[in-house]
Amino acid sequence: VTAPGFTGAALDRMDHLRLDLDQLAAALAHREARLLGLAGLDPVLDEGGRLSWEAVDGRALEGLILLGFEGGVPHFAPLVADVPVGQRAWSIFRVLERMDGRDAAIWGAARSLNEWHARHRFCGGCGSRTEMFRAGWGRRCANCGIEHFPRVDPVVIMLAEHGGRVLLGRQPQYPLRRYSALAGFVEPGESIEEAVARELGEEAGIAVDQVRYLASQPWPFPGSLMIGCVAAARSDALTLDTNELEDAIWVGRAGVEAALAGAPEAPFQAPPPFAIAHTLLVRWLEGISPS
Ligand SMILES: [Zn+2]
C-alpha cells in the first residue's frame, strides 16, 4: 500500500501541552530539544537527504511552534519572519521527490503553520494585531480577544470513471505531458459528494454518481486537505471549461500502468508520488475499480 504524500509523521502532537506554559518551558529546556532547519519556508536537508535539526539553543517560546514529541524529545519549528505568502514554489517539487515521506509530513505541517501565521497577523474581526498562542497552533487578538485557529481548506480531487477508463485533465501551467486528477475547493454548504459532482460538471461537463472516498492527504501550499474520491460518469462525452483545463483525456488501465512506471510511450506523465493524484491512480489500479 502506498502511503499518501505528506502523511506518516511520527510526532505525537501533544495538544494538551499547548496551553501549559510550565510544561512548554520544560520542553524548551529539554537537552535534546530539536529545531527544524528551514530556509525561508523550504526544508534544509542534510547530506542523507533527511530533514536537518539543530539545537533549540536558548530561543524564546514566542518564536517557536511546537510540532510534537518523538521518543520523549520535543521537536520545534521556527516561526519564520517575513515569509513571502502565496508562493506556489514549483522548485520545491524536485526536492519533495527525493524526500522521505515522514519528513515531508513534518515539514508540510511547519510550512502550513508558518504561512498561516504570516497571513493572519491582523484580526479578521476588528483589524488589530494578533499574537501567537497555543505553542504556535493559534493566534489571539490583543484587542477583542477573538481566537483564530490554523485553517485547513478542504479540496476534492477525483477520478471520474467510465468503461474501465479514468478521466485526467491538464492545466496550462503543468509540466510537459503531465495530466492529473481534476480538483477543486469544497464550497460552504456542500458535502464532499456534492463538491465532486459539481467540479466534474463545471470542469468537464460530465454528470456522475456513486461518489466514493478513497484517501486523503495534507497539501501544504498553503494549507489544503486533499480528499481523494472516485465517481462513476454517466457518459464519456466531455465539455471542457477551458479556463480551468487545456485538455482532458480518458485513460485505461494499460495507459495508467505505463505512466506510473514512467514509460516513455505512456499516454501522459504521471503526477509525482507525493501528490494524491498519484495515490488515486495506484489505488484504482489495485482494484478499487469495479470494472
Ligand atoms: Zn480583534
Is residue 288 scored above 70 in pLDDT?
A: no
Distance 120 CA to ligand 1 centre (A): 11
| pLDDT for 91 | 81
Distance CA 184, CA 48 (A): 36
Q: Rounded to the nearest whole angstrom, what is the distance from the C-alpha of residue 129 to the centroid of ligand 1? A: 7
Q: Which residue reads 480551468 in cell numbers?
A: 244
Q: pLDDT value at position 87?
A: 67
Q: What is the mean pLDDT of the chain?
A: 94
- Quote the ligand 1 centre to 143 CA distance (angstroms): 5
The region of weakest confidence among 20-34, 82-96, 141-155 is 82-96
How far is the centre of ligand 1, averaged over its atoms, from the C-alpha of 180 (Å)? 41
Long-range contacts of 79-85 (CB under 8 A, 24+ apart): 79/114, 79/117, 79/132, 79/136, 80/38, 80/40, 80/41, 80/114, 80/118, 83/40, 83/41, 83/114, 83/115, 83/118, 84/40, 84/41, 85/115, 85/118, 85/119, 85/222
Ligand 1 centroid–CA 228 distance in Å is 36
Q: What is the pLDDT of residue 57?
A: 86
90 pLDDT higher than 90: no
Question: How far is Cα 82 from Cα 98, in angstroms, rounded to an integer?
Answer: 27
The alpha carbon of 185 and the centre of ligand 1 are apart by a number of angstroms equal to: 27
The gap from C-alpha 97 to its chain's centroid, in whole angstroms, comes to: 14
Q: What is the pLDDT of residues 256-284, one digit of tens each?
A: 999 999 999 999 999 999 999 999 999 99
The predicted model gives 217-242 an average pLDDT of: 97
DSSP 3-state of 122: strand
Q: How far is the CA of 124 from the centre of ligand 1 (A)?
A: 7
State in Å: Cα 137 to ligand 1 middle: 17
Mean pLDDT of 80-107: 86
Task: Give the pLDDT confidence score for residue 49 in this predicted structure.
Answer: 93
Q: For residue 255, how far is its CA from the centre of ligand 1 (angstroms)? A: 54
- Return the pLDDT at 254: 97
Question: Is residue 2 over pLDDT 80?
Answer: no
pLDDT at 1: 58
The mean per-residue pLDDT over the stretch 160-174 comes to 96
- Check whether 291 has a pLDDT greater than 50: no
Per-residue pLDDT tens for 42-84?
999 999 999 999 999 889 999 999 999 999 999 999 999 888 7
pLDDT of residue 89: 67
Percent of the chain with pLDDT over 70: 97
Residue 69 and residue 22 in contact, taking contact as beta carbons nearer than 8 Å: no
Query: Could you tell me the pTM of the whole model?
Result: 0.94
